[in-house]
Structure 1
Amino acid sequence: MAHHRIEIAVQGPWSLATSRLFWEGFTPSALPARKGEALQSTFLVEGEWRRASVSVTQRGATAVLTLSGAGDLDLAAAQVCRFLALDVDGRAWPDVGARDPVIAAAQAELPGLRPCGFYSPYEAAAWSVLSQRTSMAQAAQVKARLSVDGVFPAPAVLRSMDFDLPGRKPEYLRAVAEAALDGLLDAVTLRAMKPAAAVLAVQQVRGLGPFAAELVVLRGANAPDAVPHNEARLTDEVAHRYGRPLAEVSEAWRPYRTWAAVHLRVLRERRLGGVMAAAGR
């Protein structure tokens, strides 16, 4: 099995500890809590759909990635940087707080948080189907049953599975698998598009409406600068904290509108007594 070690110079504020705590509480794709400082996970490398494992540690402004697996570990490293938001230049993120006192307070409460959680748009799309008309806890149980050794199945495997699921969920999961195999849920492609165009493209997949498509692009591809228009809990939190519409308030968040939205969702869950990272929808 191949091994690969790479060092990433992270630009702007970043705390592995804060981001890891966020992900461990992220119900849709919770990272198992482990002892020690390293963030460890196993995932499928997009496109190849072979397993890779990574251990991430932080040394100042440097992220140290130690990877192993049978697949392309350079692709795997790029994917890790994407799902941990290490590929985003965050040097201007503090400027958003300087413009917006609410975001400044969120940054102070969540120092160095970068949105993370889904390994790929494919996994986010599958979660969107599993969580339709059911609780997040129930959807997480179903996802765990479908997974093998904690890893969600590859699209070709998912496509051929027999599902004991209600309604059209089996049909929609197969549609998601087909879309992933056809490259319609590719993270690099979706990130290269304007977020609004990417959301429209994802809605071409059967079973994925506007809410699901936003989750796929904003949290699956981890696009850093887009406003979730179909997230009622975010809209409610903005109304509570600002007394102004989301579209107006979010202009001050550019070019990190997704990051700001995630911070506000975390604050909402804390304010209402929820876990830290139920902010994943």
Structure 2
Amino acid sequence: MLASVFDMADHRVEIAVQGPWSLATSRAFWEGFTPSALPAHSSEALRAVFLVEGEWRRAAVSVTQHGATAVLSLSGTGDLDLAAAQVCRFLSLDVDGRAWPDVGARDPVIAEAQASLPGLRPCGFYSPYEAAAWSVLAQRVRMSQAAALKASLLRDGVFPAPAELLALDLDLPGRKAEYLRAVAEAALEGLLDGVTLRAMKPAAAVLAVQQVKGLGPFAAELVVLRGANAPDAVPHNESRLTDEVAERYGRPLAEVSEAWRPYRTWASVHLRVLRERRLGGAMAAAVR
């Protein structure tokens, strides 16, 4: 269990991170993660502004690292205890990673990835709601087009709250407006709650997310694995990962990934980063 010390006078939260972690490596990953990329900052801190899940109020966080401790400085109108927990989730700071090096000891390919990306903890979307919205925006368009569509919807740098999204007159291609409204309604009904999805078995969570109109198997996996940031699941609908495993191992993903437990998502993300690097892509793996 992670340990924390709360000082609500200045909204400071200290998290004792268990296992390897590098803020610099994780920040570089997130700054290149197109679906929810952070703007680059010259300071050592990771800074983000987001909506606190459930109440959908703004919060801002500055994260710094002091040895094995993550220091979160929070502000905003949202519940800052909830905001701190959400930050820990989307930065994977709430995962006990002490056994992560053991995966590399069992698998030389993952060991190479760990050495190349020291201390990387996969950073996800701020919430499953935002992951679901991105999935809709990215359907049948290029990544750059999806990013432009998302940017057009931002309000003061954050994605609209579900109720606000429902009130917008959306001029989007295809059925994107219809599907975005379905995502917003599902978020308001609690169907895309990060805590709930993380508490479920990943396969069950993926099936639950697919009940939302417009979210197929690929999108549902993104919502669970990168929105709820579930640490131990295998993406079955990610062709680039399947191709990478085939090239490096010559065996099926389902078989290879057994050695990655209980960090199958982490291992998958590491392999995707290595593939993007090798093929000349950005540091963070782009979503299909």
SS, match of residue 176 in structure 1: helix
Once the two structures are TM-superposed, the CA of residue 280 in structure 1 deviates from its matched residue by 4.2
- In structure 1, stretches of 5+ residues that fail to align are none
In the alignment, the residues of structure 2 paired with residue 202 and residue 245 of structure 1 have an alpha-carbon distance, to the nearest angstrom, of 26
Q: TM-score, normalised by structure 2?
A: 0.96
Aligned residue-pair number: 281
In the alignment, the residues of structure 2 paired with residue 222 and residue 117 of structure 1 have an alpha-carbon distance, to the nearest angstrom, of 6
Match of 2:216 among 209, 212, 224: 209
SS, match of residue 28 in structure 2: helix
Q: Residue 174 in 1 paired to residue 142 in 2?
A: no
The answer (yes or no) to whether the contact 1:190–1:221 under 8 Å persists in 2 is: yes
In the alignment, the residues of structure 2 paired with residue 33 and residue 117 of structure 1 have an alpha-carbon distance, to the nearest angstrom, of 17
Match of 1:193 among 200, 217, 227: 200
- Which one-letter code corresponds to 2:114 in the other structure? Q
In the alignment, the residues of structure 1 paired with residue 238 and residue 285 of structure 2 have an alpha-carbon distance, to the nearest angstrom, of 13
Q: Residue 93 in 1 paired to residue 97 in 2?
A: no
The answer (yes or no) to whether the contact 1:262–1:279 under 8 Å persists in 2 is: no
Once the two structures are TM-superposed, the CA of residue 120 in structure 1 deviates from its matched residue by 0.3
Q: Residue 42 in 1 paired to residue 52 in 2?
A: no
Residue 238 (structure 2) aligns with: 231
Q: TM-score, normalised by structure 1?
A: 0.98
In the alignment, the residues of structure 2 paired with residue 20 and residue 255 of structure 1 have an alpha-carbon distance, to the nearest angstrom, of 23
Deviations 1:152-191 (A, max 9, x none): 0100011111111111111000000000000000000000
Bigger shift: residues 191-200 or 160-169 = 160-169
SS, match of residue 118 in structure 1: coil
The answer (yes or no) to whether the contact 2:269–2:285 under 8 Å persists in 1 is: no
Deviations 1:181-212 (A, max 9, x none): 00000000000000000000000000000000
In the alignment, the residues of structure 1 paired with residue 272 and residue 79 of structure 2 have an alpha-carbon distance, to the nearest angstrom, of 35
In the alignment, the residues of structure 1 paired with residue 285 and residue 137 of structure 2 have an alpha-carbon distance, to the nearest angstrom, of 16
In the alignment, the residues of structure 1 paired with residue 280 and residue 11 of structure 2 have an alpha-carbon distance, to the nearest angstrom, of 41
**Mapping of 1:20-169 within 5 angstroms?**
20-169=27-176
Once the two structures are TM-superposed, the CA of residue 279 in structure 1 deviates from its matched residue by 4.1
Deviations 1:18-67 (A, max 9, x none): 00000000000000001110000100000010000000000000000000
Identity score, percent: 86
In the alignment, the residues of structure 1 paired with residue 238 and residue 224 of structure 2 have an alpha-carbon distance, to the nearest angstrom, of 14
Deviations 1:101-142 (A, max 9, x none): 000000000000001031000000000000000011110111
The answer (yes or no) to whether the contact 1:3–1:69 under 8 Å persists in 2 is: no
Match of 1:270 among 270, 277, 280: 277
- In structure 2, stretches of 5+ residues that fail to align are 1-8
In the alignment, the residues of structure 2 paired with residue 117 and residue 149 of structure 1 have an alpha-carbon distance, to the nearest angstrom, of 21
